[in-house]
Homo-oligomer: A and B are copies of this chain.
């Protein structure tokens, strides 16, 4: 059996945890399995690198930032190989150049394009545990790239797909996917299984367990994922195509505080205005989430939308740069202290009352809704960030 295992930064934060991960991998290896391990940078090392960079250049070139970031995972895999060697098991660490992990050139947010598994296969054939740097890639001009937040999950899924792995295990600091974040919602329950689509919505809505790009890729290539804890032996949650819902309406409640709302007030009411606005943002790799358009006064229109808080500054700057040309408007208004709260579940499609129940729960809790967005299996509301936990508990209690 070929198993791909991915461990995040907290799982390799210090010597003790590195050995803990090493032992878990060796256990599978000694049963005769081929084991490929994807690692992130140790603990807070990425944060250290960011502050080093910002200290030198508050706005560092993205190519150089990726050149700096990529040392983090290389450190993790090298130290892990040393740990496994000290436990008597041969291991080899490989970075993005060595596994030929090709990506687009979008520094900081690159997409995997293709990879070459020959080196990994050869190392596995010689009975080594193969340790691969997560998060990083190489573009066609041999520049380092990174895959954006949660990119190591994507690396693991891509490897599992390319190697036709029998299992792809994503280790994290929780025991699986919960109906809500157990840190904030006391009645949260662990799910045994969840569909790709539900997981996608949970991931993109801040449940924080799996990065959405990794789930998209898992869905596309049919890679069955298991999300489980690196600290316990609990079974975890399986993420797959179809799950027997047994009448469960929703599978989870998620929140995301890494969000900010931008309102562009008084845009000219002409065709193409929305296109131009979001095109400018897309060119800067800024992902836009909930969008709301309303008609303003005097034949103008207002467009509100949310972005990740990290992107807020650049999004506003981008709009401001075009205010005198293609994006004439009266005002750009920003609200930072907002959060998204969402319910997700395939059962929703056939139960029209779900959204109403959610709104009722928020109304009963006295929480004002600023924006609403829905899809077939998801309802998201934007609220004041200070009420996030209160809202999650209220909504969770309503459904579970």
Q: CB within 8 Å of B: which of A315-334? A: none
Of B58, B71, B142, the residue contacting A71 (CB under 8 A) is B71
Does A64 belong to the interface (CB within 8 Å)? yes
> Is the contact region of chain A dominated by helix, strand, or loop, or is it mixed?
helix
Q: CB within 8 Å of B: which of A29-67? A: 49, 52-53, 55-58, 60-61, 63-65, 67
* Residues of chain B within 8 A of A82, CB atoms compared: 53, 56-57, 60-61, 64-65, 68
In the bound complex, CA of A85 to CA of B65 (Å)? 12
Closest to A142 in B: B98
Q: Mark A74-99, 1 if CB is under 8 A from B, else 0.
A: 11011101110110000011010110
A63 and B92 contacting across the interface, CB-CB below 8 Å: yes
Does A70 belong to the interface (CB within 8 Å)? yes
Of B61, B81, B85, the residue contacting A81 (CB under 8 A) is B61
Does A283 belong to the interface (CB within 8 Å)? no
Closest to A49 in B: B75
Q: A56-B15, A85-B60, A86-B56 given as contacts; is B74 within 8 A of A70 (CB)?
A: yes
Protomer copies? 2
Does A358 belong to the interface (CB within 8 Å)? no
* Residues of chain B within 8 A of A95, CB atoms compared: 67
* Residues of chain B within 8 A of A86, CB atoms compared: 56-58
Q: A97-B142, A98-B142 given as contacts; is B67 within 8 A of A85 (CB)?
A: no
In the bound complex, CA of A78 to CA of B75 (Å)? 16
Q: Mark A134-160, 1 if CB is under 8 A from B, else 0.
A: 000000001100000000000000000
Closest to A68 in B: B78
Question: Shortest CB–CB separation between residue A24 and chain B, in angstroms?
Answer: 16
Of B15, B18, B19, B61, the residue contacting A85 (CB under 8 A) is B61
A74 and B71 contacting across the interface, CB-CB below 8 Å: yes
* Residues of chain B within 8 A of A71, CB atoms compared: 71, 74-75, 78
Question: Shortest CB–CB separation between residue A275 and chain B, in angstroms?
Answer: 32
Q: CB within 8 Å of B: which of A258-304? A: none
In the bound complex, CA of A18 to CA of B61 (Å)? 17
Does A119 belong to the interface (CB within 8 Å)? yes
Closest to A141 in B: B119
Q: Mark A3-20, 1 if CB is under 8 A from B, else 0.
A: 000000000000100110
Question: Shortest CB–CB separation between residue A14 and chain B, in angstroms?
Answer: 10
Closest to A67 in B: B78
Of B77, B83, B97, the residue contacting A97 (CB under 8 A) is B97
A93 and B74 contacting across the interface, CB-CB below 8 Å: no
Question: Shortest CB–CB separation between residue A93 and chain B, in angstroms?
Answer: 5
In the bound complex, CA of A55 to CA of B19 (Å)? 12
* Residues of chain B within 8 A of A18, CB atoms compared: 56
Can you offer 9 A-B residue contacts whose CB atoms are under 8 A? Answer: A49-B75, A57-B85, A58-B86, A64-B78, A67-B95, A68-B75, A71-B71, A71-B74, A98-B142
10 closest cross-chain pairs (CB), A and B: A71-B71, A68-B78, A57-B82, A57-B86, A67-B78, A60-B82, A64-B81, A97-B97, A56-B82, A64-B78
Beyond the given pairs A64-B93, A67-B74, 7 more chain A to chain B contacts, judged by CB atoms under 8 angstroms and listed by A's residue number, are A56-B83, A57-B86, A65-B78, A67-B81, A68-B82, A71-B71, A119-B142
